[in-house]
Structure 1
């Protein structure tokens, strides 16, 4: 039987990197929103309605991204912990 291994630290590192990218995306969106507010433009009509709709969609999707990244982190950490516990257990059984 072949030898199986997983680099759980690398997996956790990749998840951490994904979270950092998500935070950078959110920070950039916040910057853009700040610039839009600074324009101090009061507008209405179809374009304003479309902008509001897209803005609401964007914030829902950002919330979904945060939730997904949090779940991914939790699952990866759980898998990491179980993998290490099983490796210790198996090592104890098969010296």
Structure 2
């Protein structure tokens, strides 16, 4: 396995993680869970709770953001598994 494939997966994972962070912040603002950037970090609603709310309970009023967030969560998980798998193959 080529090292460039591993580096590409790492870069793609970082970009998709930033996308998740951006859309979660947008989701917080639209649902009045945070009013500014600093309040975003000090609320009781954590990333895990919001992810559970979006992916499992589907209790939200903004379908576009939740579809994008669901897609980005799935992409993050898949790329993370591909990175682990490709590093394991590269080590052999």
**TM-score by structure 2 length?**
0.55
**2:65 corresponds to:** 62
**1:87 corresponds to:** 90
Deviation at 1:72, TM superposition (A): 0.6
Deviation at 1:4, TM superposition (A): 5.4
Residue correspondences, number: 62
**2:4 corresponds to:** 5
- Aligned pairs for 1:32-51 (under 5 A) are none
Which protein has greater RCO, CA pairs closer than 8 Å, 6+ apart?
Answer: 1
- Aligned pairs for 1:12-31 (under 5 A) are 12-31=13-32
Structure-2 separation of matches of 1:67 and 1:29: 17
Gaps of 5+ in 2: 36-60
- Tell me the alpha carbon deviations over residues 3-56 of structure 1, each in whole angstroms, 9 at most, x when there is no partner: 65131332222121111011111122123xx9xxxxxxxxxxxxxxxxxxxxxx
Structure-2 separation of matches of 1:62 and 1:4: 34
**2:40 corresponds to:** none
**1:71 corresponds to:** 74
Structural RMSD (CA): 2.2
